[in-house]
Amino acid sequence: MHFLKEHLSDYKYSWINEANFTGEASRRLFNRYNGNQLLFVLNLYASVIDGFTIPMALTIEDRLMNQLPVEAKSEMSVLNWLRQTPALPVSNAY
């Protein structure tokens, strides 16, 4: 499933930068507040997990917004962190 802007929670994302985030993750600096980049990373992560659902995407979104360590600075390091982190419940504190 391909996740869209409409699937995301009500975090305050910036949608000004309409840069094309395509292909593979890179060492490009990850900005969790850039909605387009967050969707790019979320969809890359979802593409390697069979049966990925919207509730799972919301859990990952919540994790990226609230649990991502400062050491995870690039798209590649964010994806590596996601692969190593067990699923977390979705936070109700938006």
pLDDT, tens digit (0-9, with 9 covering 90-100), for 62-80: 999 999 999 999 999 999 9
Domain count of the fold of the chain: 1
Domain assignment present for residue 90? The answer is: no
Domain assignment present for residue 94? The answer is: no
Angle at 40 between CA 12 and CA 77, to 5 degrees: 95
Domain assignment present for residue 91? The answer is: no
Q: What tokens does 9 get?
A: 């929670």
Half-sphere exposure of 88 (CA within 13 A, CB side): 18
Domain assignment present for residue 93? The answer is: no
Tell me the CA distances in angstroms from 7 to 3, 17, 23, 43, 47, one per residue in order.
Answer: 6, 19, 21, 12, 16
pLDDT digits (tens, 9 = 90+) for 29-63: 999 999 999 999 999 999 988 888 899 999 999 99
Q: Which domain holds residue 57?
A: 5-84
Domain assignment present for residue 89? The answer is: no
* pTM, to two decimals: 0.83
